[in-house]
Structure 1
Amino acid sequence: MTDQIVELQKITKEFIDGGVSHRVLDRIELLLNAGDTVALTGASGSGKSTLLNLIAGFERPNTGSLSLLSDDTSAWNDRHWSQFRKTSLGVVFQQFNLLTPLNVKDNIAFPLRLNGLNWDKWCEHLVQSLGLEGLLERHVDTLSGGQQQRVAIARSLAHKPKLLLADEPTGNLDQTASLEVMKLLCQLAGEHNTSILMVTHSLECADFMQRRWHLDNGQVHE
C-alpha cells in the first residue's frame, strides 16, 4: 500500500483586501504519496506559496480538509503542528533563511538538535554530495548564494524528512548552479524516499520532477 503524505480535499483559501474577498485556492483536491516529486507552476500571485504555507501549517484554509501522513490535521493544535514540522518536514526557502550567528555545520545540525539526534554518516554524505566539506566552520554570511543554498538543502534533509517543501529553491542562482542543485536535491531526496513539492517558475527545474501541477484561477491542473 502506498503511503499518503499529503491529501487535500476541497481546500479553499480567501484573503480580504480592502474589504473585498479574494479566493486564491478554490476547492483544491490533491494527493502526494511517498516518494512523489511534483513541480508546482503558475503565475506570480496565483497562490503557489499560499498552498505550501497551508501544507506546512503556517496558514489555515477557510474550508476543506488537509491530511498529513494519513492524519487529519483539522484537530491539530500548535503542538501537533510543531511536532510535524520538527520530525517530518523539510523546507527550502528562496531566501535561504539560514541562522547567521551559526556556522555551516551548526546550521545543518539545527534540525537534528531539535529532534535529539546526533551528527551521523548521512550528514557527512550530505556535506560531501553538496560540496560543503571545507566550509563547515565558516559562518554562513560569508558564503556565496550558491553555497548558502547548498547549506539550506543539507539542513532541510539532515533529519530525513518524509516531505520537502521548496519555494523557488534555485531562484537566486544562475542556470548552471540551478541545474546542479536540482540534480543533487532529487538524488538526495530519492535516497530516503522523501516526497518533494517544489514551487518554480523554471521549466528546466520543473523537468526534474516526476509530475507537474499548474495553479491557475484557484485550480490545480496536472
Structure 2
Amino acid sequence: MTDPIVQLSQATKQFIDGKDRHCVLDQVDFSLHAGQSVALTGASGSGKSTLLNVIAGFESLSSGVLAINGESVEQWKDPQWSLFRHRKLGVVFQQFNLLTPLNVRQNISFPLSLNNQKWSEWCDHLVKKLEIDGLLDRHVASLSGGQQQRVAIARSLAHKPALLLADEPTGNLDQQAGLEVMRLLTEISSEGETSVVLVTHSSECADFMDTRYHLSNGQLHD
C-alpha cells in the first residue's frame, strides 16, 4: 500500500493563554489515503479547524509528527509549504475568501496561475457541473452566497489537487443549498481523484464522506 497522503502520529497542539495551557489536540493519530474522504465533527472549539490548519501548514504542532506523502514536514520551510499548497492542496473556507476585485473566471484561474497552468477542459467541466458557467464574467461581490460557495469550490479544485480541506463549506447556506453543494463537491472531488477532509457540524453533510470521526477532549473517536 502506498504511503498515506496525510499521516499524523501522536499529534499534540497546545495554546497558552496567560498562565493557562489549553490542549486542543492530544496525541492524535490520523491518516488519509488516496481517494478517501473523511468528515470531522465535534463541538465548536473542539479543535476541528486547528487540525485542518495543521495539515495545511498554517499552524505547527506542539509535539508529534505530521507526514505528507510519507515525508515528515518537521524541516519544511516556507518554499516547501508553498509548493505543497500550490500544487497538491485545495481549501474551501466557510467565508468563501474569494478575491472580490476579480470576476468569477479570474478567481477560478488564480490557483492555475500559481502553477503556470491555463484554463482547461476540466475547468469547463467544473463550472458547468456547478452551474456557474453563465457567471464567469460577473464580479463575485454581485453573487449570492450559494453562487459564491460554488465559485470557491471550483477555485479549490481547478488545479486537480490531491487533497481538499473543507472547513464548514455549507455553514453560510440554508439546508437545501448546503446539501446540494455537498453533493456537487463530493461528485467533483471523486471525478478529480481528490481526497477530502471535511469539517462540519452537520450530520447530513458528514454522511457524504466515507468515514466520520468525532473530535472531543483533544481525541478522535470513531
TM-score for the superposition, normalised by structure 1: 0.99
1:35 matched residue in structure 2 = 35
* Whole-angstrom distance in 2 between the partners of 1:22 and 1:120: 46
* Whole-angstrom distance in 2 between the partners of 1:129 and 1:86: 23
1:199 aligns with 2:199: yes
Residue 190 (structure 1) shift: 0.3
2:136 matched residue in structure 1 = 136
SS at match of 2:159: coil
Please, what is the CA RMSD of the aligned residues? 0.7
Following TM superposition, the consecutive aligned residue runs of length 4 or more in structure 1 with deviations greater than 6 angstroms are none
* Whole-angstrom distance in 2 between the partners of 1:57 and 1:131: 32
Indicate how the Cα distance of structure 1 residues 3 and 193 shifts in structure 2: closer, same or farther if over 3 A, else same.
farther
SS at match of 2:5: strand
Segments of structure 2 that go 5 or more residues without pairing to the other structure are none
User: What is the identity percentage for the equivalent residue pairs of Structure 1 and Structure 2?
Assistant: 64
1:190 aligns with 2:190: yes
SS at match of 2:212: strand
* Whole-angstrom distance in 2 between the partners of 1:101 and 1:19: 43
2:216 matched residue in structure 1 = 216
- Range 141-150 or range 65-74, more displaced: 65-74
Matching residue's letter, 2:28: I
Matching residue's letter, 2:97: N
Matching residue's letter, 2:50: T
1:157 matched residue in structure 2 = 157
* Whole-angstrom distance in 2 between the partners of 1:92 and 1:17: 29
* Whole-angstrom distance in 2 between the partners of 1:75 and 1:219: 26
1:93 aligns with 2:93: yes
- Range 190-199 or range 119-128, more displaced: 190-199
1:102 matched residue in structure 2 = 102
SS at match of 2:74: helix
1:44 matched residue in structure 2 = 44
2:58 matched residue in structure 1 = 58
* Whole-angstrom distance in 2 between the partners of 1:3 and 1:130: 32
* Whole-angstrom distance in 1 between the partners of 2:139 and 2:30: 40
Alpha-carbon deviations, 1:148-207, whole Å to 9, x = none?
A: 000000000000000000000000111111111111101000012211000000000000
1:177 aligns with 2:209: no
Residue 4 (structure 1) shift: 1.3
* Whole-angstrom distance in 2 between the partners of 1:72 and 1:50: 19
Residue 3 (structure 1) shift: 4.6
1:70 matched residue in structure 2 = 70
1:8 matched residue in structure 2 = 8
* Whole-angstrom distance in 1 between the partners of 2:39 and 2:4: 18
* Whole-angstrom distance in 2 between the partners of 1:20 and 1:110: 41
SS at match of 1:122: helix
TM-score for the superposition, normalised by structure 2: 0.99
1:166 matched residue in structure 2 = 166
SS at match of 1:75: coil
Segments of structure 1 that go 5 or more residues without pairing to the other structure are none
* Whole-angstrom distance in 1 between the partners of 2:105 and 2:64: 40
SS at match of 2:106: helix
- Range 68-77 or range 199-208, more displaced: 68-77
